[in-house]
Structure formats: C-alpha cells, structure tokens
Structure 1
Amino acid sequence: MLLMIANEEYRQFLESVRFVYGYDFTEYAEASVIRRIRSFMETNRIGGLKELGRLVMKDEAAFEHFIQEITVNVTEMFRDPQFYKSLRKNVVNRLATYPFIKVWIAGCSTGEEVYSMAILLREEGLLERTVIYATDINQDALQKAKDGLSTISNMKNYTENYIKAGGKNSFSDYYKAKYNSVLWDKSLRQNIVFSVHNLAMDKSFNEFQLILCRNVLIYFNQSLQNKVIDLFYESLCPFGFLGLGNKESLLFADKQKCFEEIDKKEKIFMKIK
C-alpha cells in the first residue's frame, strides 16, 4: 500500500528537520525525497509522516539512520570512464602548472570517486603536491570512505572502468584483498581530508584548482542547483575547473557565462571570469 504524504505535512516535516538538526532538504527535488521517505517508512513499518517526525525528533540515533537511508550513495570507481580520460587530456596539464594543488570532491559518498582521483593524480605525478578534500552530508558514508574499504565483488567492474579511463598501471597495484573487501593503498589516503559538508547550507571553505560534484545536482531543485553553482564559482581559483555529472549542466545557472566549456560531452568547465 502506497503511503500518502500531504504537501503541507511534507513541508512541515522538512522545516522541523532543518530547525532541529540543521539539515535542509527543502530545496531538494521533491519527488526524489518523497520516494526515499516512503521507502524508509515502509522498511521500518512507520505508518505516516507524523509518526516519523515524532520518532526522529526525539531520537538522534533514529535520525542518523534516517539520513543514511535517504541520502543517495550510488558510486563506483572511475564511473563514466571517458570523464576521467578527459581529465587526463584536458585538465591535468593545467593542474601541473601549480606548485600546490587543491581538489574538492563534493558529495563524495563512500569514497570511490575520491580514490579514483587519487590514482589518476598519482599516475600523472601530481598526488604528492595535492590535497583532496572529500566531503559529504552523510557521516556514515564518509566513515566508510575514510576507512578505505570497498567490496571485492566490485573489482572486476572497477578494473574495466580503470582501463577504459586510461589507467597506466595494473589496477591491483592500488589495493590489497582483505576477506570479502579490499583496502585501498595507504599512500592514496595520505593526502585526503574527509569532512562533513552540507551543500544546501554550508559556505565555501577554501580555494580550489579543481572541483568535482558529479551526479549530485540532479537531486536538487533549480534554485538550489543555482546556489550550489554559485558556491563552486566562489570556491574556484581563476581558471579553475569544475566537473559535473553527465545529466547536469550550467544551462540555467546565473554564473553560466563565467565558465567556458572544456568538454561539452563530459561536462567539464573552466572558470574564466
């Protein structure tokens, strides 16, 4: 049976979450959030939004479980391999001109994209002078990213992605098998800073040469997308690069004309003013 969620009830619930916990989902794509709330309530046998509200407002552990379930954590190593191939071709040579490189991976989930970037930078001789800032709203996902573990059953797919992305070595050089998991090489993790950051509410915290935020904006409404693009613009150095997901764009962003398309298909942009 499909649980009904009234618009007013939905808005009140999101406002309560924002007031009590500081998480703002009011500008997330409504259909997507409602679908995930319904799934959470059905899985946990919660009869309605008022019951869910009472539960998460008085029980912080229940709220953390709720956040883990409704935030999206779909990711994989070298996802969309041609994107990484384009980074090697169009961005790496520019990054190499900086004595010190700062990369921000926003919405890093469980870290597969972070370790993909670390491997790419290692192979291009840039990792030692790079700091990668990996941020996400989901603390559970961040801890998994920090632990540097992935499921061993994914390695065949990840290896194929790595090869298609222009990988220069043997992919198995970068991890060690550990029971049913793999542990990413410690040297990849040394230059990564993991931290909670809420794109809907938090501000810029540094200046970066490269920002990757892929397949995150699709979960926001147009107003929040625009706000986040402004945040990235503010956080990029002059001629810094921005990488988005293949279903995302700057088409309706206020700062659209402040960026130049470096790779139209792979959604890589450069800040030009």
Structure 2
Amino acid sequence: MWQGSGVDLDAYLTRVGYQGDVAPDLATLRGLHAAHVDAIAFDNLDAVLGRPTVPLDLDSLQEKIVRQGRGGWCLEQVVLVAAVLDRIGFTFSAFAGRTRIRTGNKFGPALHVALCVQLDDEPWLFDVSFGAYGPHVPIRLAENSRLDGDWPFDLVREPNGEYVLRFLRPEGPAELYGFTTDARYPSDFELLNHFCLTHPRSPFNHRMVLQRTQPEVRHLLAGSTLTEIRPGEPATFRELDKDETLSAPEEIFGITLEPGDVQALRKILDGP
C-alpha cells in the first residue's frame, strides 16, 4: 500500500542530508524527521500556478521533491515519506487532523495528514509536513506527552477523545490540529488532494503558502506576509515587496523553481 519497494532511498537520503545507517528504530525515526523538515519546505505553488492536477503517485513525487528540489503540501510529503518508512521497515498508519491554528475552528475539514508509527508497541506521532508550526522530531503519541527544548510541544486529550497537538509558544500554547488515530489510506488522500486543489474554501489554491522548519528559525510566507519564529521569542511579521516575494521560494525556503514558473508567479503578482 505504501509503495516502499518503489522509493529511491539513497536519493531521498541525499536530498534531506541524512547521513548514517537506517533501521526501523527510534534513532532513525528522529533523524529522518529532523532532516526532512530542515530540507523540504511546505509548497503549494502548483495550485497557485493553476496546474490542473497535483499528482500523488510516488514516481511523480520523487521527480518533483527529490530530483527537482521542490517542496510539496502535506499530502505529497506524506506519500513520499511513507514510502521511505515502508522501505526501511517501519510499521505505521496514517490519520487526518482538523487544523485549528489561524482558523480557531475545531470542526473544519480534516485536511492535514500525518503518520502514527509503532515502535516496541508504543505509538509515535510522525509529522513532517505541518510547516513552520510543526514539530521538529516525533512526539510520543500519548495523553500529556511533551517535547521539551528550544521548540516545545505537547499533546492533550479532549473529552470527546480527540488528541490536540500544541506548539508551546511564549505568548501561550497554539493549538495546531485535533485528531483521532482512525486509519486513513491513499484513496482518502486523493479526495483531500482534490479539495485542496479545487474547492473555493481551500486555504491553498488562492495565494502562495510556503513554510520551512529549521533548527534556528522557522519561516512562513502567506501571500506577501513573512512570519519568522525563533525559539522563546514572539513571532515577527514583515510585508515583502514583489521582488522579495518572487525570490523568497529559493532564498528563504530552499525551493528550486524553473524560470518559467518564476515568470508565471510574477504575472500572478502583477495582477490583471
């Protein structure tokens, strides 16, 4: 189901800068998570550029993200990293979460997808695609679990049984998304992908959204507003001019774009 036999593991490990041996253990899971979020940005540019499809087949994703140096939105990244984990020998399932940050809505559509990895009969939340507010390493999937350090997170459980992942910011906890661990499958991803690409209420098809999580700083670009987050400090915000916005994918988010894509984005920013 997760296509592990089709993944070019060496090429992926080179893309994310992971060095060393891999095995289905916690050390590898931590190392892959940190390397992936450091190297691969959240990127909705195909939708903004008006492409009719965002393919979720593994060959297309390896070409785009691994070989071309692009990012991808959560569904694309989950399909890719699931194949990697499957190839290495991890046992896992996928689930969907209802994003709360920036919406405040606990009952919106469950559009975000992440993985629950089983290690020694203990579940771990493995989420490499939530972007600037997401965790940097896996977190044990249990009520009141915590990640401490420069980028602290915790998991709480609500009376209805949903887990909520929270980013513990100086200004107070930020609820990222609520979820249960009910299994989702690649066929479910296709439906969510279609919504994100085509629905008028999709948050991803009408403006550029780029996000990247690095050890010292996290960046989010929504339209022309750049958010910068550093450990233990309130987030800062800055409006970019058109030239800064066009250069941001490569200079800030490490995304390699074709010259034609840059020109198409310039036309979009110029407006009708």
Report the TM range for the smaller structure's normalisation.
0.3 to 0.5
Larger Rg: 1
Higher strand share: 2
Instruction: Using structure 2 for the length normalisation, give the TM-score.
Output: 0.33
Instruction: Using structure 1 for the length normalisation, give the TM-score.
Output: 0.32
